Structure 1
Amino acid sequence: MFYEDLSEYTYQEEDAFTDRESGFHALWYRPAYTRLNIGWLEVGRPYPLGTVPEAFTERLRAVQDVQRMNVCLGTHECDLCPEGEAPEGNGEVRIPGAPGIAYAAPFLVTHYVTAHGYRPPQVFVDAVLAVDLGAWASVRWPDVPFPWVPDDVERLAE
């Protein structure tokens, strides 16, 4: 599935964070922020190539270790890899950007960067490097840990 980088995300109307610890509890909501696509690559479609800082790749992996977003029942196989060697993903990742913006990337985005030389837009690289994983680990909704509960959802709890 291909979407151009920084185009508006329209794949799903709602977003859902799934609790990684239990795998059962989820926070579903219709986001008030604009979601922008990052890293939705497809064989036969050109994509930007280049290097990224090692710290970016490490931080993106760390985000994926704590965040499960829009997890699907099926999986998507990387179609840029040879058949039989392709990793699979079944969800997405959200990275907060400027106020009112969140970046929406497939879970395979780290694979695309490390295995296929994909170079995400600099605003995404900067946003990933700005993620405060310590703050994400402390957020709960209401009794289940969820990383980066967006501001519009937090207001509903008040």
Structure 2
Amino acid sequence: MFYEDLSEYTYQDEDAFGDRESFYELWYRPQYIRLNVGWLAAGKPYSTGPVPAGFVEKLQAIQHVQWMNVCLGVHACDLCPEVEAPEGNGEVRIPGEVGIAYAAPFLVTHYITVHGYRPPEAFVDAVLAVDLDVWAAARWPDVPFPWVPEDAERLTE
């Protein structure tokens, strides 16, 4: 699935955060603009280049604590040979400037480390600005993302 970097995310109307330790989930219609980052596909051009030291490790740590829009199906990296292609089935949300969140597929770290993808600078800066200690400490009903509205629907059974 390909979306141009920094185009508006329109794949799903709602954002859904799951709890990694249970089957609990919350979902809501975002009040922020979601911008695509890292939705790569074979045959489509993408930016390449180095990323700052510590960026990949921080993004991986965020992905470890955030369980976002997880689907039953999987998406394989079509930039890799078929037998070696890793699969992903979720997304990550990174808050940017006020009113903007970046929407990336879970395979984004694979694209960076294996295929040399260079995300937009605004996304890199937003990832580096995440307070990972706060996100990692979040426990249900809180989730590791700051802009969840109070009236978010919650599945707790």
Give your verdict on TM over 0.5.
yes
Aligned to 2:144: 147
State the number of aligned residues: 152
Matched AA of 1:68 = W
Partner Cα separation in structure 1 for residue 146 and residue 15 of structure 2? 11
1:91 has 2:90 as partner: yes
Unaligned runs of 5+ in 1: none
- 1:84 is paired with a residue of what secondary structure? helix
Q: Could you report, residue by residue, the CA deviation over 1:114-136 in whole angstroms, capped at 9, with x for unpaired residues?
A: 00000000000000000001112
1:39-50 superposed matches below 5 A? 39-50=38-49
Higher RCO by CA contacts (8 Å cutoff, separation 6 or greater): 2
| Structure 2 equivalent of residue 16 of structure 1 | 16
Report % sequence identity.
71
Q: Tell me which stretches of 4 or more aligned residues in structure 1 moved more than 6 Å.
A: none
The two structures, once aligned, show a CA RMSD in angstroms of: 1.4
Letter in 1 for 2:10: T
Matched residues in 1 for 2:137 and 2:29: separation? 23
Aligned with 1:102: secondary structure? strand
- Deviation sequence 1:50-108 (CA, Å, 0-9, x none): 00013110100000000011000000000000111010000000000000000000000
Q: Secondary structure at the match of 2:50?
A: coil
Question: Which runs of 5 or more residues in structure 2 are unaligned?
Answer: 153-157
Q: CA offsets, 1:30-51, max 9 Å, x none?
A: 0000000000000000000100
